[in-house]
Amino acid sequence: MPRLPLIGVTACTREIGPQTYHIAGDKYVRAVAVGAGGVPLVIPALAELMNQSTLLASLDGLLFTGSPSNVEPHHYEGPASAPGTRHDPARDRTTLPLVRAAVAAGIPVLGICRGFQEMNVAFGGTLHQRVHEVEGYMDHREPADEPLDVQYAPRHRLQVQPGGMLDGIGLPSEIQVNSIHGQGVERLAPGLRVEALAPDGLVEAFSVEGARRFALGVQWHPEWQVRTNPNYLAIFQAFGEACREKAGQR
């Protein structure tokens, strides 16, 4: 019986009481297990203590998760963040080089929300820090005071671009997605291919051109109730298949 792929899930740091914890959302680790069919392994934000090459040699895939925090703007030469913006510099130090190294090593990669933004920054792109304040763009934030089922409900349509990865795994030309983000792509990094656009033209998905294996970033949250949404499930199944292919070569 072939072994299940081992899929890394990036963690955030969080102060709980007087101590620091490394945490990953339950919905991400569950989606790896039930959507991608892999074994999730939480990767702490400890760049200075981890040997990146040894880590990647052990993994069959990497999921870069969403987070309440944002990439620090100095990584893309952006202006200072608005007061109160949550950052996680330990995660930035871990994930930004890890994205580049994983793609170069042929490790399947899926980036979600913050993970999507990390991928764009890691390859040289920039971000809008407050999309809702940029002329021409809609408000992509969730209704903060509503229950989770309302926050994660479909919010807008998405135009899947023909001939790309999402088209290739069977997603229709138009789908409905949730929308839970304040930041977004300003300038797409060189070497990234647009996979899907929001109605206002904001890039909501891209793939990495020339990647040896699956390398996709999405701005929305397909991990949410992944088994009940066929389009969300298709993304995780394709990711999982790439991870199983990688595991089968060991």
Query: What distance in Å separates the CA atoms of residue 79 and residue 130, rounded to the nearest whole number?
Result: 12
Reported as half-sphere exposure (CB side, CA atoms, 13 A), residue 45 has a value of 22
How many other CB atoms sit within 10 Å of the CB of residue 13? 18
Fill in the DSSP letter of residue 189.
P
Burial 93-103 (b: 16+ CB within 10 A, else e): bbbbebbebbb
Q: Which long-range contacts (CB under 8 A, 24 or more apart) does 228-233 make?
A: 231/171, 231/172, 231/175, 231/177, 232/35, 233/35
248: exposed, middle or buried (Cβ count in 10 Å: 0-12, 13-18, 19+): exposed
Q: Using an 8 Å Cβ cutoff, are 38 and 31 in contact?
A: no
Q: Which two tokens mark 17? A: 């009481």
Q: Which two tokens mark 35? A: 């959507």
Active site residues: 113, 221, 223
